[in-house]
Structure 1
Amino acid sequence: MSRAVLIERPQSLRLVPAEPALPGPGEAVVGIAWSGICGSDREVFAGSRAGEFVRYPVVPGHEWSGTVIELGPGTDPSLLGKPVVGEGFRNCGRCPPCRQGDTNLCVAKYEETGFTQPGAWADELLLPARLLHELPEGADLRAAALLEPAACMAAACLKVQAVPGERVAVVGGGTLGMLATQLLAAGGPAELVVVDPREDRAELATRFGASLCPPEAAQGGFDVVVEAAGAPGSARLAVSLTRRGGRTVLTGLAGVETEPLVPAELVGAAVTVHTVFGAPSRAWSHAVRAFSAGILDPVPLITHEFSLEKADQALALLADATTPTGKILLHP
């Protein structure tokens, strides 16, 4: 009998038995190796996620890695036994955004693994096989569990199109910021700076090819700025660090913004501001290729691991502001 972590309603979480998944036409069953926890999972548990983006009861888990253990009719038989990760948005593939490659902006009814469809805080996951991305044989599945947030940062990097020799900054030195830093470092910037108040993140920044700078000391003039903090004021800081005519991409959701962007300032600076919501298929491909080539190394970002039985403890740790955490993983 399989197991899954079920959030029946906000603040109610328990480990339950789950019937083995039976794949239908075009579907695959993945044996989960590792699944990640992020702030949106904490929102699901707390009940603070916007109602249109969650449906209770739900098995969370949109960040994961695993191995294909069963396939339904009409799927590629070569996938069986392959290590994989998979996209979360259950896009229709037919609407104008999907046809244009923006599969994360599908106009059909919102459906996403771990929010409205059963997720990967479980032994097994059933999903459309077309959403799978195959990994190399022997891939580190523990590290690969971070490819979902990496895909979101890949989407940001593709938006701003940094070219070799440009000055680049990343606002935020958490998991997302450090994943973006690695992807940007691979493009050969003349300067790469992570802007973050925590001095303990300097070692990781250096490891990934960047220097660390506290926000109060950061100087502007960057060609490209990626905002990955999602904190009040981080969007305005990112824009202020961008040179006139430069490019900024915002990825964070700060909630109540204490320092909103001022349209007149944007116009005066002629800054191009992009935004990212999730990751389209092309960004997933970008992240998977970088990981498979050894350019993207998520391992140093993992700080804690828990069994499925201790998912409640993992969530409590994530919510504890007194304990510094990186990526927290669950392991069936």
Structure 2
Amino acid sequence: MGDQTHNLSFILDPKGPTLTYEDRPIPHLRSPYDVLVNVRYTGICGSDVHYWTHGGIGTYIVREPMVLGHESAGVVVSVGDKVKSLKIGDRVCMEPGVPCRRCVRCKEGKYNLCVDMAFAATPPIDGTLAKYYTLPEDFCYKLPEGISLEEGALMEPLSVGVHIVRQAGIKPGDSLVVFGAGPVGLLCCAVAKAYGASKVISVDMNEERLDFAKKYAATQTVVAQKESGEDAAKRIIEAGELGLGADAIIDATGAEPCIQTALHALRTGGTYVQGGMGKSEINFPIMALCTKEITAKGSFRYGSGDYTTAVGLVATGRLSVKELITGKVKFREAEAAFQDVKAAKGIKTLIEGPADSSVVVGNGENAASS
């Protein structure tokens, strides 16, 4: 397995807080159904940066040094005795949350709502920004030859987009407005378009990101302005020629003004999905919710089938994620990726390695050491 002496990991130490590196033990397979993955690429999520800058998210507080990262892909380097679907050398994307599999929510197929979920880089669970990481085989998805490991790292945010769009019930011919042109908002646009939405309108304050959205997946864009929710809704409806309002609206920002605007911009009987997290409590137009008989849903991570769908969308060419990768850094330069995300630079920055140079990946190429 190459270097057996260490498992180089990128750590958030809450004392400071500081970002640092640490040699940790190579994790053991905890079950005969587990696999050990040499992590090759990891994207940085806003939640990782939030833990770094704020020390916690809601009730999840970083109290002890924690490995960051959860958007990863890598190469299988060891498998348990009962693993059947994967072998050493397979390239996989990694679903970073493992549920208990025993509770009512798990049994009814909504394992993303498991209260005992062990999710990477959510305190106190360590994340995937390490040389090696273990997961059950059914939470590792083999990448087809046409999908690179870099693209594989984006299957995590794409799965979030798939889940949100499924919550919205998008079908061919629907009109959709997406607030927020960050990675998740952009991927929601792309998934909705792949699902047959006729109008996909991206709304954001950042015109540079809106330009990207228009080239990537949005059929139209609208620049957000400081105005009342009702006025903003009228402007979006007019700009998008939405008639009585959009069939569905997704908020990928968590910003109160966007949520207020969204409920005004929906048609009667429309569907609203909250995909972005913001303040724990907000004001919203309850009369619009009631009188329009709006269906309002939350969306949390991803559930059964979402990762498989994400991989399939990319493998069949119905959706592309390459365009979102706007930067890559070596593992020892990981803090630079965090600084980029904090400064809202680019769309998605990937951290490379550290690779196990002895491993031969599925396409027959030796991995370069990072």
TM-score norm. by structure 1 comes to 0.92
Q: Which residue of 1 aligns with 2:308?
A: 285
Rate the CA distance shift 1:184–1:254 in 2: closer, same or farther, 3 A.
same
Q: 2:319 pairs with 289, 296, 299, which one?
A: 296
Deviation at 1:5, TM superposition (A): 0.7
Unmatched tracts of structure 1, length 5 or more: none
Q: Is the 8 A contact 1:21 1:126 kept in 2?
A: yes
Rate the CA distance shift 1:130–1:188 in 2: closer, same or farther, 3 A.
closer
1:168 matches 2:169: no
Unmatched tracts of structure 2, length 5 or more: 1-5, 225-231, 354-370
Structure 1: distance between partners of 2:207 and 2:68: 33
Deviation at 1:140, TM superposition (A): 1.1
Which is worse superposed, 12-21 or 26-35?
12-21
Deviation at 1:29, TM superposition (A): 0.7
Secondary structure of 1:65's aligned partner = strand
Q: Which amino acid aligns with 1:37?
A: I
1:204 matches 2:209: no
Q: Which residue of 2 aligns with 1:273?
A: 296
Rate the CA distance shift 1:87–1:270 in 2: closer, same or farther, 3 A.
same
Structure 2: distance between partners of 1:223 and 1:178: 18
Rate the CA distance shift 1:312–1:18 in 2: closer, same or farther, 3 A.
same
Q: Which amino acid aligns with 1:329?
A: L
Deviation at 1:130, TM superposition (A): 2.4
Q: Which amino acid aligns with 1:111?
A: A
Q: Which residue of 1 aligns with 2:352?
A: 331
Q: Which amino acid aligns with 1:251?
A: G
Which is worse superposed, 215-224 or 168-177?
215-224
Q: Which residue of 1 aligns with 2:246?
A: 222
Structure 2: distance between partners of 1:250 and 1:284: 20
Q: Is the 8 A contact 1:167 1:222 kept in 2?
A: yes
Q: Which residue of 1 aligns with 2:26?
A: 20
Q: 1:319 pairs with 328, 331, 342, which one?
A: 342
Rate the CA distance shift 1:127–1:180 in 2: closer, same or farther, 3 A.
same
Q: Is the 8 A contact 1:232 1:256 kept in 2?
A: no
Q: Is the 8 A contact 2:263 2:288 kept in 1?
A: no
Structure 1: distance between partners of 2:266 and 2:197: 15
Structure 2: distance between partners of 1:129 and 1:289: 18
Deviation at 1:138, TM superposition (A): 4.6
Deviation at 1:144, TM superposition (A): 1.7
Matches within 5 A, 1:179-258: 179-200=187-208, 201-215=210-224, 216=232, 217-219=235-237, 221-255=245-279
1:260-293 deviation per Cα after TM superposition (whole angstroms, max 9, x unaligned): 2232321012111111011112222221211221
Q: Is the 8 A contact 1:101 1:282 kept in 2?
A: no
TM-score norm. by structure 2 comes to 0.83
Q: Percent identity?
A: 25
Deviation at 1:17, TM superposition (A): 1.5
Q: Is the 8 A contact 2:164 2:275 kept in 1?
A: yes
Q: Which amino acid aligns with 1:207?
A: Y
Matches within 5 A, 1:32-111: 32-46=39-53, 47-52=55-60, 54=62, 56-76=64-84, 78-108=86-116, 110-111=117-118
Deviation at 1:15, TM superposition (A): 1.0
Structure 2: distance between partners of 1:78 and 1:114: 25
Deviation at 1:39, TM superposition (A): 1.1
Deviation at 1:329, TM superposition (A): 1.2
Q: Flag the structure with larger Rg.
A: 2
Q: Which residue of 2 aligns with 1:7?
A: 12
Structure 2: distance between partners of 1:81 and 1:113: 23
Structure 1: distance between partners of 2:97 and 2:337: 24
Rate the CA distance shift 1:204–1:244 in 2: closer, same or farther, 3 A.
same
How many residues of Structure 1 are paired with residues of Structure 2 in the alignment?
Answer: 328
Q: Which amino acid aligns with 1:3?
A: L
Q: Which residue of 2 aligns with 1:124?
A: 132
Q: Is the 8 A contact 1:164 1:187 kept in 2?
A: yes
Deviation at 1:2, TM superposition (A): 2.9
Which is worse superposed, 47-56 or 266-275?
47-56
Q: Is the 8 A contact 1:15 1:308 kept in 2?
A: no
Structure 1: distance between partners of 2:349 and 2:126: 20
Rate the CA distance shift 1:77–1:268 in 2: closer, same or farther, 3 A.
closer
Q: Which amino acid aligns with 2:11?
A: L
Deviation at 1:192, TM superposition (A): 1.8
Rate the CA distance shift 1:89–1:306 in 2: closer, same or farther, 3 A.
same
Deviation at 1:209, TM superposition (A): 4.7
Rate the CA distance shift 1:301–1:212 in 2: closer, same or farther, 3 A.
same
RMSD across aligned C-alpha pairs, in angstroms?
A: 2.0
Structure 2: distance between partners of 1:55 and 1:279: 26
Deviation at 1:55, TM superposition (A): 5.6
Secondary structure of 1:311's aligned partner = helix
Rate the CA distance shift 1:78–1:324 in 2: closer, same or farther, 3 A.
closer
Q: Is the 8 A contact 2:214 2:220 kept in 1?
A: yes
Structure 1: distance between partners of 2:253 and 2:50: 17
Secondary structure of 1:79's aligned partner = coil
Structure 2: distance between partners of 1:59 and 1:183: 30
Q: Is the 8 A contact 1:250 1:276 kept in 2?
A: yes
Secondary structure of 2:147's aligned partner = coil
